[in-house]
């Protein structure tokens, strides 16, 4: 699909619909396919965004006023021309020279308006935020068709123009992604300590603010990881574990599919630190768990639980059966201690 095969009015209708947030899912898909077809299409879209900003009513940044746009354009060119004439009163333009000068003036004014529009639209585009409260998870599709599962206690945000010129989002918490392929626009996930960049793949990314480690598990495709200290490539059935205190990044083999089991209401811990397990249980069951002995902070556990079928007491019993810890429970409060 390219610009030549589509009527200009159809493309403009798509763009106007996008800018006014009135596109149907089918129209959004068509627009994204058209944008992916060529750099010329993306440049045309960018220019239309700038014209839209320049022509927007100051009291309603989503109303596109063609007449106002035209009047603004005339006002700009008239002012520029008048300034030029005042500075050069002695210089008389012939008709053909005047026409040429007007073309130059129009080009300059248009360029200034477009560059100004770029800055304005970047400032005016709002961030869209999605949160999954404790005790629940959220499933959604991004504008480019990417499937996202957002785990309990997680938050994700992205720009209103996501999928047009870039595909970048911010994540706090845990999310599973099935990224729609787009070789022209990489998909980027940013967290405070670790960033991921892909073209199209399936991966799980976990980095809650209060976790000791950030973790990326790759199910399909290939991802590029970057921290403040290094960059590396992750391959299928590999996991990257970042120690957030030291900055050390460890790559190891894993059964990556397990990392996304939480999307099916399963809790899978693969040699996870007890503090991170506790936080996951708190988010999943909406309870409060306290680790009373600091020595337990470095203990790791394996586990595979069914959240909807197993109670928090049953999970704590399994963890205690390892003889690495014990616990007491009172209502929605649990205290974990070293075994006596």
Domain boundaries in the chain? 1-38, 125-263, 265-339
Residue 239's beta-bridge partner residues?
217, 252
| Torsional sign, CA 289, 295, 296, 298 | positive
**Residue whose pair of structure tokens reads 């480019």 in the numeric block:** 144
The rounded distance, in Å, linking the Cα atoms of 21 and 12 is 14
**What percentage of residues in the chain have a pLDDT greater than 70?**
72
Q: Beta strands of 199-317 (E only): which ranges?
A: 202-207, 213-220, 223-226, 231-234, 238-243, 249-253, 266-273, 288-291, 300-306
Residue 7: its pLDDT value, please? Answer: 65
Mean pLDDT of all residues in 141-164? 91
Encode pLDDT of 278-323 as tens digits: 998 999 899 999 999 999 999 999 888 998 889 999 999 999 999 9
84-98, 198-212, 221-235: least confident range:
84-98
Q: Can you name the residues that pair with 81 across neighbouring β-strands? A: none
3, 142, 210, 303, 339 from 293: Cα distances, Å: 65, 43, 18, 21, 10
> pTM to 2 decimals?
0.61
Q: How confident is the model at residue 81 (pLDDT cuts 50, 70, 90)?
A: very low
Contact of 221 with 238, CB cutoff 8 Å: no
pLDDT for 324: 93
Task: Tell me: pLDDT of 105 over 50.
Answer: no
Phi (first) and psi of residue 203, to 5 degrees: -155, 160
- 220-261 pLDDT, tens digit each: 999 999 988 788 999 999 999 999 999 899 999 999 998 898
Q: What is the pLDDT of residue 56?
A: 47
Taking only Cα atoms into account, the Rg of the chain, rounded to an integer number of angstroms, comes to 27
Q: Who has greater pLDDT, 68 or 229?
A: 229
Contacting residues for 228 by C-beta, under 8 A, at least 6 apart = 193, 247
Residue 120: predicted pLDDT: 45
- Per-residue pLDDT, 5: 46
pLDDT attached to residue 91 = 44
Q: What is the CATH code of the structural domain delimited by 125-263?
A: 2.60.120.1440
The pLDDT, as a whole number, for residue 25 is: 65
Q: What is the pLDDT of residue 49?
A: 61
Predicted local confidence at residue 70, as pLDDT: 43
Fold of 265-339: Phage tail protein beta-alpha-beta fold (3.55.50)
Q: How far is CA 246 from CA 61, 229, 274, in A?
A: 46, 10, 18
Q: Decide which of 51 and 92 is more confident.
A: 51
Do the first three CATH levels of 125-263 and 265-339 match, i.e. the same topology?
no
**Average pLDDT of 178-203?**
92
**pLDDT computed for residue 35 by the predictor:** 77
End-to-end CA distance of the chain: 70
- State the DSSP code for 239: E
Least confident of 76-90, 142-156, 255-269, 287-301: 76-90
């Amino acid at each position: 699909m390219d610009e030549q095969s589509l009527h200009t009015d159809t493309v403009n209708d798509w763009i106007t619909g996008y800018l006014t947030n009135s596109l149907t899912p089918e129209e959004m898909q068509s627009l994204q396919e058209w944008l992916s077809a060529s750099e010329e299409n993306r440049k045309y879209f960018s220019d239309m965004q700038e014209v839209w900003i320049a022509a927007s009513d100051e009291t309603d940044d989503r109303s596109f006023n063609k007449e106002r746009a035209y009047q603004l354009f005339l006002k700009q060119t008239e002012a520029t021309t008048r300034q030029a004439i005042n500075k050069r009163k002695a210089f008389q333009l012939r008709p053909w020279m005047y026409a040429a000068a007007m073309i130059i003036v129009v080009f300059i004014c248009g360029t200034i308006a477009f560059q100004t529009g770029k800055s304005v639209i970047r400032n005016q585009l709002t961030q869209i935020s999605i949160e999954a409260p404790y005790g629940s998870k959220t499933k959604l599709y991004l504008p480019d068709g990417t499937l996202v599962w957002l785990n309990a206690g997680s938050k994700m945000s992205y720009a209103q123009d996501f999928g047009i010129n870039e595909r970048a989002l911010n994540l706090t918490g845990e999310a599973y992604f099935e990224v729609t392929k787009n070789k022209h626009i990489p998909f980027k996930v940013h967290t405070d300590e670790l960033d991921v960049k892909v073209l199209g793949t399936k991966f799980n990314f976990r980095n809650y603010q209060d976790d000791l480690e950030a973790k990326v598990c790759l199910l399909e495709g290939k991802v590029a990881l970057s921290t403040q200290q290094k960059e590396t490539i992750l391959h299928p059935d590999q996991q990257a574990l970042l120690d957030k205190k030291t900055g050390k990044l460890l790559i190891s083999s894993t059964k990556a599919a397990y990392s996304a089991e939480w999307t099916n209401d399963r809790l899978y811990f693969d040699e996870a630190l007890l503090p991170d397990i506790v936080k996951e249980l708190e988010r999943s069951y909406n309870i409060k768990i306290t680790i009373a002995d600091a020595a337990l902070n470095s203990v790791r556990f394996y586990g595979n639980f069914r959240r909807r079928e197993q109670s928090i007491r049953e999970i704590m019993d399994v963890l205690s059966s390892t003889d690495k810890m014990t616990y007491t429970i009172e209502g929605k409060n649990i205290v974990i201690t070293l075994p006596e």
